[in-house]
């Protein structure tokens, strides 16, 4: 059995939905289909999910999200008409209007794009529609209930017909809708694939897999033929946005392979994501990814290494202020904490005061506009000269390294540079390892 997930671009127009239909019907093993809400049809268009968030905000002011819901209705009516479907969109829009009046959060509104998209796709294929809320479950505290969900999803193995399921959401014990983070349809697809022990999880999007670097920065970067779950996690987390970084967890234990495929070029093999990749298939570096706009909190204190509990006290300050960290490179008398994004001024000032009060550092400095760049690949483990190559590439490009950190698995090296150097740093590193 193959589980397929189709993204927003694949569901955006009647033409693209027809391509999806042809892909599914070309292989009878494609039994379970997970779909996203329709994305943009053209650059200035709106995503359906964004319209539904607007409808929720409108409903808070005027009881019904009339303007945005009208656009949603027109989009789905147009799809139904162009696909020659006998489906009553008005009925579903009326249900959404009622739901908006009773919704306590925006999650209900946001989920309706996937719901309607799945209704359309089920009608196109003649497959059975199953509401994600009936099989994807959350606990009272909002955390994902993996055990209950797995039991419910496993029953889909025995289905005699094809199934279409909306992505992105599930239900709480009180029956209210709870969504994953944006892009969470990838997670839904992975949960379903893991729950039915699929032979393969195909994630269909508008690109033919992962590239070794951002194509908006590096011209014609190399395609990645295969990578491991761990490499995917590192690259996705650092900004390679082809696949949601949490989507590997439901598949990792049982080793279901993931194939990233392009709806608009289905003949291309795409990128295979596997539990492990054979050593003879591994380049030194699999890919390079990064993200801008991070913050460094740099501390120094003489004899820091002999002060029991120093690190714990500093991290406790971050915890009390609701700040999570990305990396903590340290020296004998220094400690740097990398935080994602820019800290609000009030949080920044409070952190400085609290850290001073708790550990009395000799100096404390907070610097914004730091880019983190990950050089990822199992091939660098025990390979001499990788760090030297990274430093030489950045030195040759006249780029100062503000921070460098290597993971304990030797699978990644993270470097921090000024935001102004981000683009040139990516290009310099790509050239060093791939050209």
Average pLDDT, the chain: 90
Residue 165 carries which DSSP code? E
> What pLDDT is attached to residue 231?
86
Highest mean pLDDT among 17-21, 141-145, 289-293: 17-21
Residue 188 contacts residue 152 (beta carbons within 8 Å): no
Residue 377 pLDDT class (50, 70, 90 cuts): confident
Is 65's pLDDT higher than 60? no
Read off the pLDDT band of 280 (50, 70, 90).
low
CA distance 299 to 351: 12
Q: What is the pLDDT of residue 346?
A: 86
pLDDT of residue 398: 96
Q: What is the pLDDT of residue 282?
A: 64
Region label for 360, one of left (φ > 0), alpha (ψ between -120 and 50) or beta (otherwise): left
Provide the pLDDT confidence category of residue 243 given band limits of 50, 70 and 90: confident
Residue 63 is predicted with a pLDDT of 59
Q: Alpha-carbon distance 107 to 105, whole Å?
A: 5
Q: How confident is the model at residue 253 (pLDDT cuts 50, 70, 90)?
A: confident
272: part of which helix (H) or strand (E)? strand 271-274
**Would the pLDDT of 106 be above 80?**
yes
> Which listed CATH number (3.40.50.720, 3.30.2130.10, 3.40.50.300, 3.90.78.10) goes with 287-434?
3.30.2130.10
183-197, 385-399, 401-415, range with the lowest pLDDT: 401-415
d(C-alpha 393, C-alpha 407), whole Å: 20
pLDDT (0 to 100) of residue 259? 95
pLDDT at 21: 98
Q: In which region does residue 294 sit, left (phi positive, over 0), alpha (psi from -120 to 50) or beta (all else)?
A: beta
More confident residue, 274 or 169: 169
For the chain, the distance separating the N- and C-terminal CA atoms, rounded to the nearest angstrom, is 40
Residue 370 has pLDDT above 60, yes or no: yes
Percent of the chain past pLDDT 70, that is, above it, reads: 97
Residue 192's nearest CA partner among 172, 163, 171 is 163
The predicted structure's pLDDT at residue 84: 96
pLDDT at 141 > cutoff 60: yes
Q: What is the per-residue pLDDT for 39? A: 95
Backbone φ, ψ for residue 411 (5° rounding): -95, -15
| Domain assignments of the chain as residue spans, ordered by start | 2-206, 287-434
> Which pLDDT score, from 0 to 100, does residue 181 have?
86
Q: Which CATH class is domain 2-206?
A: alpha beta
178 pLDDT higher than 90: yes
- Looking at the predicted structure, is the pLDDT value of residue 411 above 90? no
- pTM for the whole thing? 0.84
Q: Does the pLDDT value for residue 407 go beyond 90?
A: no
> How large is the average pLDDT for residues 312-339?
90
- pLDDT tier at 409 (50, 70, 90 boundaries)? low
pLDDT in tens, 19-48: 999 999 999 999 999 999 999 999 899 999
Pairing of strands 271-274, 226-228: parallel
Residue 349 CB coordination number (10 Å): 12
Let me know: does 20 contact 121? Beta carbons within 8 Å: yes
**Mean pLDDT calculated for residue range 78-105:** 91
| Res. 281: pLDDT tops 60 | no
Closest by Cα among 197, 40, 196 to 130: 196
Contacts of 203 (CB under 8 A, 6+ apart): 4, 5, 7, 186, 189, 243, 247, 258, 259, 260, 261
| Angle (nearest 5°) at CA 316 between 330 and 355 | 70
Asked which of 84-88, 115-119, 214-218, 279-283 is least confident by mean pLDDT, the reply is 279-283
Alpha helices in 307-373 (DSSP H): 310-320, 345-359
pLDDT digits (tens, 9 = 90+) for 304-322: 888 899 999 999 999 999 8
Is 97's pLDDT higher than 70? yes
User: Residue 286 in contact with residue 377, Cβ under 8 Å?
Assistant: yes
Question: What does the pLDDT read at residue 278?
Answer: 65
Task: Report pLDDT digits (tens) over 337-360.
Answer: 989 888 888 888 899 999 999 999
- Rounded mean pLDDT of 76-91? 95
Provide φ and ψ at 296, rounded to 5°.
Answer: -110, 125
């Amino acid at each position: 059995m193959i589980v397929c997930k189709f993204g927003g671009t694949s569901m955006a127009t009647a033409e693209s939905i027809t391509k999806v239909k042809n892909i599914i019907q070309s292989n009878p093993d494609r039994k379970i289909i997970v779909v996203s809400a329709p994305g943009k049809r053209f650059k200035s268009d709106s995503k359906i999910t964004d319209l539904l968030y607007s409808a929720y905000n409108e409903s808070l002011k005027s009881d019904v999200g009339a303007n945005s819901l009208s656009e949603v209705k027109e989009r789905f009516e147009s799809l139904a008409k162009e696909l020659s479907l006998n489906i009553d969109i008005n009925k579903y829009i009326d249900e959404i209007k009622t739901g908006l009046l009773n919704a306590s959060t925006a999650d209900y509104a946001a989920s309706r794009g996937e719901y309607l998209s799945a209704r359309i796709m089920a009608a196109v294929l003649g497959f059975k529609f199953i509401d994600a809320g009936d099989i994807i479950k959350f606990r009272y505290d909002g955390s994902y209930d993996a055990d209950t969900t797995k039991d419910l999803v496993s029953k889909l193995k025995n289905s005699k017909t094809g199934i279409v399921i909306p992505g992105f959401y599930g239900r709480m014990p009180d029956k209210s809708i709870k969504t994953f983070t944006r892009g969470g349809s990838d997670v839904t697809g992975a949960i379903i694939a893991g729950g039915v022990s699929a032979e393969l999880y195909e994630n269909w999007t508008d690109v033919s897999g992962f590239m070794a670097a951002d194509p908006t920065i590096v011209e014609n970067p190399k395609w990645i033929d295969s990578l491991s779950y761990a490499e995917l996690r590192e690259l996705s987390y650092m900004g390679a946005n082809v696949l949601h970084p949490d989507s590997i967890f439901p598949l990792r234990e049982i080793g279901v392979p993931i194939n990233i495929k392009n709806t608009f070029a289905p003949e291309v093999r795409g990128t295979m994501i596997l539990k492990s990749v054979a050593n003879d298939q591994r380049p030194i570096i699999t890919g390079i990814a990064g993200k801008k706009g991070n913050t460094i909190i740099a501390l120094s204190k003489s004899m820091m290494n002999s002060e029991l509990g120093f690190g714990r006290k500093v991290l406790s300050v971050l915890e009390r202020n609701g700040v999570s960290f990305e990396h903590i490179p340290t020296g004998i008398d220094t400690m740097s904490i990398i935080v994602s994004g820019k800290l609000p001024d009030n949080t920044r000032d409070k952190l400085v005061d609290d850290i001073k009060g708790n550990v009395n550092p000799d100096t404390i400095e907070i610097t914004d506009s730091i880019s983190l760049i990950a050089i990822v690949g199992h091939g660098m483990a025990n390979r001499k000269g990788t760090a030297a190559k990274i430093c030489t590439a950045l030195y040759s490009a006249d780029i100062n390294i503000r921070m460098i950190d290597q993971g304990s698995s030797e699978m990644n090296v993270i470097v921090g540079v000024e935001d102004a150097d981000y683009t040139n740093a990516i290009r310099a590193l790509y050239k060093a390892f791939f050209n």
